[in-house]
Amino acid sequence: MTEASKLRLSVEWFGDHIEVIDQTLLPGREELRRIDTVEGVVDAIRRLVVRGAPAIGVCGAFGVVLGLQGTRLGTVCSARETLESVAVRIAAARPTAVDLPRAVQRTAAATADADSAEEMIERAEQEALAIQAEGRESCRLIGEYGRRELAGVTRILTHCNTGRLATSGWGTALGVVYAKAAAGEPVEVLASETRPLLQGARLTAWELSSAGIPVTLVTDSMSGAVMASGRVEAVVVGCDRVARNGDTANKIGTYTHAVVAHAHAIPFYVAGPLTTFDLDISSGNEIVIEERPASEVLCYGGRQVAASVPVWNPAFDVTPADLITAFITDRGVLRPPYAESIPRAFENGVRP
């Protein structure tokens, strides 16, 4: 088992371009994509070439730097105009994960006092690198808090992909798994395949098996059967946006796992950094859920398998807070009542 530090990051910065592992091609092909324009950043985020809430935040932050680099020879005023439009375009690439607009705004805000376009670029670059480094440390902390919380638990069901591909560290929900493995504790993962884009089957199964962690794949519709069978001791998933009351948006299918876990008295954990919590919204009703093209549901392996009928394809669902046993965050484990524990976690100068 190798910690993410010894592996390639899913998003890497090279001073004038970004390189990402093209997640649309995994596990068949492990290819890097070079991105050197804002359009390239928006396209990569929209097509899920890069995906996972923290990873799209980091990619968006470096996208702001790329956008500013084109203004190097101009005035501060023109650089600020460019910055504004670049930030809006990148932040709108996907609507649900709060990490994206937050990282973009933070990178843009870091340039506020700069006296020249050159200085704006430097400051934005430093901020984007800081976001990436903080993300890595957050993963380490989540892993450690989660490992302690789940002491004695071996069989974990997870959904989607929340590992090194989705973050700048070793992951959130999968960070807990990696932390257990790194500590020499027994751990086995049941990965649900995550229709329609198969992040569980294509990415989590690949990531964990490459790391030597036992992983068994199930389809999403096996959720009830697998939990009824006694094969699952805890469910641990990631998050894209957590409201102030604890309602949580995550990959479509998460809510089903939460309901089934509740029915079987299996603890259901959400792992994520505080950067994925949005105190500006009071409940999950306010979370904008991305709807994706019908072709993702109609087709399988590049071939249409369904009749040509209308499709509803929300990329995320909202799990109500009362189905969540606890949040494993980079500030520790948050327990109900979340209306109290979540705001408290942001005290003491924590930067959201």
Q: Which residues contact 317 (CB under 8 A, 6 or more apart)?
A: 249, 250, 251, 252, 253, 254, 255, 256, 289
Q: How many residues bind ligand MRU (CB under 6 A)?
A: 18
Considering only residues 17 to 46 of the shown chain, the ones binding ligand MRU according to CB under 6 A are none
Q: How far from the centroid of its chain's Cα atoms is residue 166's Cα?
A: 5
| Burial class of residue 159, CB neighbours in 10 A (0-12, 13-18, 19+) | buried
Residue 317: active-site member? no
Indicate which residue of 22, 36, 99, 240 is catalytic.
240
| Burial class of residue 196, CB neighbours in 10 A (0-12, 13-18, 19+) | buried
Indicate whether 167 belongs to the interface with ligand MRU (CB under 6 A).
Answer: yes
The residue assigned the tokens 């993963």 is 139
- Which whole-number Å values give the CA distances from 38 to 42, 90, 145, in the listed order? 6, 7, 36
Binding mask 53-92 for ligand MRU (x = CB under 6 A): xx--------------------------------------
Residue with Cβ nearer ligand MRU (53 or 274): 53
Q: Which of 49, 54, 58 lies closest to 21, judged by CA? A: 49
CA atoms within 13 A on the CB side of 256: 18
Indicate whether 49 belongs to the interface with ligand MRU (CB under 6 A).
Answer: no
Please report how close the Cβ of residue 26 comes to ligand MRU at its closest, in angstroms: 12
Bridging pattern class, strands 316-319 and 234-237: unpaired
Please report how close the Cβ of residue 144 comes to ligand MRU at its closest, in angstroms: 16
Please report how close the Cβ of residue 333 comes to ligand MRU at its closest, in angstroms: 17
Considering only residues 239 to 258 of the shown chain, the ones binding ligand MRU according to CB under 6 A are 239-240, 250-251
Backbone angles phi, psi at 64, to 5 degrees: -60, -40
Can you tell me which of 9, 90, 160, 201 binds ligand MRU, judged by CB under 6 A? 160
State the maximum Cα–Cα separation within the chain, in Å, rounded to a whole number.
65
Stretch that binds ligand MRU, among 159-167, 258-266, 317-325, 328-336 (CB under 6 A): 159-167
Can you tell me which of 82, 111, 172, 325 binds ligand MRU, judged by CB under 6 A? 172
Contact by Cβ (8 Å): 270, 146: no
Indicate whether 156 belongs to the interface with ligand MRU (CB under 6 A).
Answer: no
Indicate whether 168 belongs to the interface with ligand MRU (CB under 6 A).
Answer: no
Residue with Cβ nearer ligand MRU (110 or 179): 179
Indicate whether 181 belongs to the interface with ligand MRU (CB under 6 A).
Answer: no
Report, as residue numbers or ranges, the catalytic residues. 240
Residue ranges binding ligand MRU (CB under 6 A) = 48, 51-54, 97, 160, 162, 166-167, 172, 199, 238-240, 250-251, 315
